[in-house]
Structure 1
Amino acid sequence: MNKWLRKSLFIMVSILTFGLVTPTQLMNSVNAENLQDRDAFEATAAENSFTQKNRFIEESEFNRDQFMEELMNQAEIQSYQKFGTRIKPVIENEFREIILPNIEKALDETASQFPEEDVKNLTITEQPSAGHSEKIFNIKNGDTGKDILRFHVRRDNPPKEGYWFNFHYHTYYDNFQSHHDLGSIYWDKNTPPKWMS
């Protein structure tokens, strides 16, 4: 869609809906069409599932293991959205084998430091960032709105070694200053594409 048509569509939607649907929401739905069908289906299904599970938790007995499993499913989907259709096929297997277990360990260790009533308020925030930005997803306390963990991936290019994706996270314990390493995955000698491309 060319820029002129896109801008016209945004203005028209804003006027017709009186702000009930924002151009950002519309753009997110347009961008979702650019994802592979499977990825878009997985993301939508997981978001709905996670939201429904959170509502169910409030109405019934809390199951910590089931809750953490749902949180991990959402973390995996957010990560694949970040990788996009060009990076995901290349690093998906290593990500599942090396990085995902370390993300799960970080989430479990953090959740174990909270009482049960606070654990069920943990949520994954924000869409992954595109381009060259590092953010994959954040974990926040849904009641306070404050971030607890921030999961990132950085592109490293050591001299004569090619490109690596360094996965790490930051915690609120030290005001998000320290890098806590989750592992690295080799890309190639060639420059990797932008995130979410």
Structure 2
Amino acid sequence: MPKWLQKSFVVLITILTFGLISPSHILLNDVSAEKAEKRDALESESSKLLLENQIDKTDIVKQLVTEAEQQSYIKFGSRIKPVIEDEFRDIILPEIEKVIEVVASNYPEEDLSRLTITEIPSGGNSEKIFNIYDHVKKQDIIRFHVRKDHPPQEGYWFNFHYHTFEDQFQGHHHLGSIYWDKNTPPQWMS
């Protein structure tokens, strides 16, 4: 019932009964019942939306691993990727997935959807492959790198590792190494 009509009834009944009976409590009960129905409908809609928007932890991990693989291949470029792609997929990618699973299990579940992967790896001789960061806090959580190592008399190796925010990215956590060749590898993203 529209408010203007409710107020008109209250005024009309008050005038007709010389103010002895005030029907406002009857009309107010109708209004509060309508409000309760609307509130219940809104609450059920919001709970449906919340359930629909909840993302399973395994889905988030799968998405992050897929993006990590894509960013790694971009980093390798067309000259390095064909040579190390199989070893990367067999040796390094499972290790990256384990690290992402640990990050996801240690991160508050309600904040997991805020985790994303940086979109542009570094080229040239830079080590950065990708970072996982909280896009709301604008804070890196973990940084994945690859370094070109050249031990004497051994040729070139790609050393995959990561750094975490827990030690201000100072610690060097080894993921694995892939042998390149005796010849100098090309620049990243070439």
Is the TM-score greater than 0.5? yes
C-alpha change, 1:156 and 1:58, in structure 2 (3 Å) is farther
Equivalence for 1:99: 92
User: Given that residues 57 and 104 in structure 2 are in contact (C-alpha distance below 8 angstroms), is that contact kept between their aligned partners in structure 1?
Assistant: no
Secondary structure of the residue aligned to 1:107 is helix
Equivalence for 1:190: 183
Give the drift of 1:186.
0.1
Secondary structure of the residue aligned to 2:106 is coil
Name the Cα RMSD after superposition: 1.6
4+ runs deviating over 3 angstroms: 56-59
Secondary structure of the residue aligned to 2:143 is strand
Size of the aligned set, in residue pairs, is: 142
Amino acid at match of 2:60: F
Worse overlay, 65-74 or 92-101: 65-74
Matches within 5 A, 1:32-181: 60-181=53-174
Secondary structure of the residue aligned to 1:144 is coil
Unaligned ranges ≥5, structure 1: 1-55
Identity rate, percent: 63
Give the drift of 1:126.
3.8
- Scaled by the length of structure 2, the TM-score of the pair is 0.72
- Scaled by the length of structure 1, the TM-score of the pair is 0.70
C-alpha change, 1:58 and 1:74, in structure 2 (3 Å) is farther
Give the distance between the partners of 1:91 and 1:82, measured in 2 at CA.
12
Give the distance between the partners of 1:101 and 1:184, measured in 2 at CA.
13
